[in-house]
């Protein structure tokens, strides 16, 4: 199970909010400054990243990630479930 902590609503462009996660099963492993995005009906998460410029365009370097998209999809699904639980608990 993944726990959401320090959720902050942002609501700017496609950025919905910012949050930290804790994964107790992994010895309390945590990731800070994750981002929840939404565009239309599509929602997804972003890992912490560093902004840089390349050829006059803003780009982002992710500090964390998965080599395999199937693992990313499974992780993202678990984080989205945790976000739903967190939002229900805040009501």
Nearest of 12, 56, 58 to residue 35 by alpha carbon: 12
**pLDDT at residue number 7:** 94
What pTM did the predictor assign?
0.85
**pLDDT at residue number 31:** 96
Spell out the long-range contacts of 68-71 with Cβ–Cβ below 8 A and sequence spacing 24 or more.
Answer: none
Counting Cα atoms < 13 Å in the Cβ hemisphere of 84 gives: 9
Q: In angstroms, rounded to a whole number, what is the distance separating the alpha carbons of residues 1 and 55?
A: 41
Which residue has tokens 């678990």? 78
Q: In angstroms, rounded to a whole number, what is the distance separating the alpha carbons of residues 30 and 49?
A: 15
Q: What is the mean pLDDT of each run of 10 residues along the chain (91 residues)?
A: 93 95 95 95 94 94 92 95 84 42
């Amino acid at each position: 199970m993944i726990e959401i902590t320090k959720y902050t609503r942002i609501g700017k462009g496609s950025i919905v909010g910012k949050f930290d996660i804790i994964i107790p099963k992994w010895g309390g492993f945590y990731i800070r400054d994750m981002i929840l995005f939404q565009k239309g009906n599509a929602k997804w998460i972003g890992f912490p990243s560093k902004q840089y410029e390349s050829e006059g365009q803003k780009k982002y370097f992710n500090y964390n990630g998965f080599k395999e998209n199937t693992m990313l999809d499974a992780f993202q699904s678990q984080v989205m479930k945790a976000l739903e639980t967190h939002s229900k608990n805040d009501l």
